[in-house]
């Protein structure tokens, strides 16, 4: 019995015999794996009462790991490759939930800084170890050497995907 990805690849090759079937399967499997990881992450976030998804988590994680303890909204937008308006919307929600606070920049009043509140820091201290544990559990099926090879191959795949966006 074929799984959904195999059936999709078979459909492509039946209609378009010239396609790279392995490339199509790789893309679909990577996409489905990514979706499964997102769903698992969302369940972890919900366990800690951190609904709102990976983008909110991504902002909090970046601030938590930042040695200065704060980031500008522009830097968050750059690092997360999203429009500043989206960051503003997400930070508004995090601020409403009392997980972050906006601070004035020490030397530039035009710059908005974002820091975790004590509540946000406490959430990160409880949630980040669970996220890291989950990621480690998913990768248990691989030897250290396989993990390094997989990482290298994924980096090449990502570079290739990024290059196709620039064409």
Which pLDDT score, from 0 to 100, does residue 114 have?
Answer: 96
Q: What is the pLDDT of residue 48?
A: 79
Q: Residue 66, by phi and psi: left (phi above 0), alpha (psi -120 to 50) or beta?
A: beta
- The pTM (predicted TM-score) of the whole model is 0.81
**Domains located in the chain, CATH noted:** 21-166 (1.10.10.10)
**What pLDDT does residue 77 have?**
95
The reported pLDDT for the residue numbered 1 is 55
Computed on alpha carbons and rounded to an integer, the radius of gyration of the chain in Å comes to 20
pLDDT less than 50: residues of the chain: none
Contact 8, 23 (CB under 8 A): no
Q: What is the pLDDT of residue 52?
A: 66
């Amino acid at each position: 019995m074929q799984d959904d990805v195999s059936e999709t690849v078979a459909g492509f090759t039946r209609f378009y015999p010239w396609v790279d079937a392995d490339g199509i399967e790789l893309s679909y499997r990577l996409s489905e794996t990514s979706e499964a990881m997102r769903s698992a992450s969302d369940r972890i976030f919900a366990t800690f009462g951190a609904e709102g998804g990976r983008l909110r988590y991504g902002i909090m994680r970046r601030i938590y790991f930042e040695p200065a303890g704060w980031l500008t909204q522009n830097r968050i937008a750059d690092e997360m490759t999203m429009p500043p308006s989206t960051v503003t919307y997400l930070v508004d929600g995090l601020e409403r939930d009392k997980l972050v606070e906006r601070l004035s920049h020490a030397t530039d009043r035009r710059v908005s800084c974002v820091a975790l509140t004590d509540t946000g820091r406490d959430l990160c201290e409880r949630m980040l170890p669970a996220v890291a544990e989950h990621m480690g559990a998913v990768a248990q099926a691989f030897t250290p050497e396989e993990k390094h090879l997989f990482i290298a191959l994924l980096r090449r795949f990502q570079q290739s995907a990024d290059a196709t966006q620039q064409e």
